[in-house]
Amino acid sequence: MFIYTLPIFFSDIAWASPVELLMIALALLVILFLSAPACAENLHQLSLKQYLFSAWIGFVRLHWVFWPFFIIFNISLYVADTLAKTGLLTVSSWDDVHLMLLLPAIWWTTAIWRCSANTTQSIFAAGARLITLAVFFEYGLKFLVRFNYARLFFGCEELLLDYGSCF
């Protein structure tokens, strides 16, 4: 997350400085920490077949919900962004990849917020919730870059079929 979008956000868009964004993130972390649910380790034993459903309803430990999706999601974003920047992925295909990742991100956010009580410390719940909010901030930045700053992000010189999307 934020490998390609934050440099564009800070240098070309310049709506906020890195210090301002860091202060906002720390303030959100404090708010999420104060509002984090009390830690409760009473989980039902469910099989792996029921993982998605049990994570959806909040019966899985937080780290088992957070880390698998976080790693797969970030690798997918990095590969899609790298291919789009080098011109190997068209703009519309880049849109399709992000649209396909949006619904799992919504599922993941819901599962994180419901499983936040299933951790040993409240700071982990607050951090996981902050990361899920950061995913949607990343999506907002990608939307902004896609429609207003496409020539900065995409390799528009190398896109032959989808050159019109760069304007």
Closest to 116 (Cα-Cα) out of 42, 36, 57? 36
Q: Are 152 and 142 in contact (CB under 8 A)?
A: no
Q: Check whether 79 has a pLDDT greater than 90.
A: yes
Q: Are 126 and 56 in contact (CB under 8 A)?
A: no
The per-residue pLDDT for 40 is 66
Closest to 55 (Cα-Cα) out of 67, 65, 66? 65
Q: Check whether 63 has a pLDDT greater than 80.
A: yes
CA atoms within 13 A on the CB side of 148: 11
Residue 62 CA to residue 48 CA, distance in Å, equals 15
Q: What is the pTM of this model?
A: 0.82
Model confidence pLDDT, tens digit, residues 41-56: 656 666 567 888 888 8
Residue 92 CA to residue 86 CA, distance in Å, equals 15
Mean pLDDT throughout 54-70? 89
Model confidence pLDDT, tens digit, residues 121-151: 889 999 999 999 999 999 998 888 888 877 7
